[in-house]
A = this chain, B = another copy of it.
Amino acid sequence: MSKNSQMHNVEIIMREMLEIQQKSKMFVNLLSEGESLSQSQLILLLQLKFNDEMKATEIADFFSVTPGAVTSMCDKLEKLNLVQRVRENEDRRVVKMVLTNSGEVKVQELFLKLSQEKLTDIAKVLIDVNKLMSTIF
């Protein structure tokens, strides 16, 4: 294979990658439309809904950031009264974040934006996409 066709393939890959990345952000874009919260903040609220509660460390792992960054993120959401810090009794070093009532309401509002039928379709397609991508990475 020539150097030229190598470059051509890399060019195709970069273009397709970029497009995939843009599309993979569309769902959260949809959720964040008209919201004053940042996308990370929305994602954290959703994760808290899915997991009921998350340790600071778990949040740091999820977002691949330092503990200090988690403190900062949670401070902001706590100031907005969307999440609440809860000290764990079995180990008083750990802090768990949970949604407040307002936080639960906000998550329900997000869910209202989503057309029911579409959700199943999107989930199915994304699972297939991942299977396909697993063949190369």
**Residues of A in contact with B (beta carbons under 8 Å apart):** 1, 3, 6-7, 9-14, 16-17, 19-21, 23-28, 43, 46-47, 49-50, 111, 114, 116, 118-123, 125-130, 132-137
Contacts and interface: CB of A to CB of B under 8 A. Distances in A.
- Oligomeric state, in copies: 2
A12 B111 contact: no
The main secondary structure of chain A at its interface with chain B is helix
Contact of A111 (B10, B25, B26, B137): B10
A16 B136 contact: no
Given A17-B126, A132-B132, A137 B49 contact: no
A107 to B, nearest CB: 9
Given A125-B133, A137-B23, A119 B16 contact: no
